[in-house]
Amino acid sequence: MVRVARKSGGKVYKIAALYGVCCGIAFLFVLPLFWSFITSLKKPADANASPPNLLPSTLTLENYTRLLHYGDGIFNYFGNSLVVAMLTVISVVFLSTLAGYGFSRFSFPGKNVLFVMILITLMIPFQSILTPLFLVLRTLSLQNTLVGLSLVNTTFQLPFSVFMMRNSFESVPRDLDNAAAIDGCDSKALLTRVLLPIVLPGVITVGLFAFVASWNEFLAALIFLTDADKYTLPIMLLNAQSGYLGTVDWGLMQAGIFISVLPCAILFLLLQRYYISALIAGSIK
């Protein structure tokens, strides 16, 4: 009896320690975001206090209302980010679905070579063709446009997305195609009516990934956008961080950070499964 009790006592102790460690790490992970959020609710003077005070004396949305009038207004920058992200998502989803369908269901000369070429472009990171890309965009007069930026984002999102969509289509049994053909479906109807609903998880994954990547994109936006009213959120925040007359408005900054984190955080919490499976697939290739 004594032995059993001691054994289970040790087990309880172990589980408590495990939870303690997990909670401690979780606390450290949430802390930066939590502090930032709390500070965004402080009064501006309170947020700039040195040394920092842990908890706000009063809670206020003042930092957020001031963001409405920062530069061209937060809605302008939020809108820019949203336009770039949505254009990227729409083109990535449209092109990768069609390409994936083509690579999976049709045979044409040079198909394998073409697919391998797409896979090879996966290896080329955006950063390493930065300067040539800048020159190309300038020649095409697409530099300093939101469309140009979304085209760049699309280009770098596509290889992975085509690969994902081809795999999605490949996992659908061909018997379905044959059954649909007997029912009188041509290749267009086969895609839109039969296959698309089945590969929907793949479409969501590809779209979600494109959105997050585009929303968080920093370097391309920094280089390609030169007019202040075209800045996306990260670039606008960087500008706010650089400060007005050398002083940084920290409360405003935290409000801006919260707003730029929010869309991706919500999407991730809702669609976690898709996002993680895409990350894994993208890294293993």
Partner 1 sequence: MRWVGLFRTIYFLPVVIGLGTSSLLWVWLFNDQVGFFSFILSHLGVIKEPVLTTPNTSLAGVIVMVVWKTVGFTMVLLLVGMQAIPTELYEAAKIDGATWWPIQLFITIPLLRRTIALALIISVVGSFLAFDQFFIMTGGGPNNSTVTVVYWIYRASFTYFKLGYGSALSLLLMVILTAISVLQLVVLREPETY
Cβ at position 243, least distance to partner 1 in Å: 11
Cα separations in angstroms, 259 against 77, 242, 248: 11, 19, 18
Three-class SS of residue 55? coil
- Alpha carbons within 13 A on the beta-carbon side of 274: 21
Cβ at position 224, least distance to partner 1 in Å: 10
Among 51, 110, 184, 246, binds partner 1 (CB under 8 A): 51
Q: Dihedrals φ, ψ of 99, to 5°? A: -65, -40
Q: Are 230 and 81 contacting, i.e. CB atoms less than 8 angstroms apart? A: no
Cα 216 from Cα 162, distance rounded (Å): 21
The vertex-212 CA angle with 202 and 269, nearest 5°, equals: 75
Q: Does 107 bind partner 1 (CB under 8 A)?
A: no
Q: Does 18 bind partner 1 (CB under 8 A)?
A: yes
Among 107, 109, 116, 127, binds partner 1 (CB under 8 A): 127
DSSP at 42: S
Binding-site size, partner 1 (CB under 8 A): 59
Among 98, 124, 140, 228, binds partner 1 (CB under 8 A): 124
Question: What does the binding site for partner 1 look like in residue numbers (CB under 8 A)?
Answer: 18, 22, 25-26, 29-30, 32-33, 35-36, 47-52, 54, 123-125, 127-132, 134-135, 212, 215-219, 222-223, 233-234, 237-238, 241, 250, 253-254, 257, 260-261, 264-265, 267-269, 272, 275-276, 279-280, 283-284
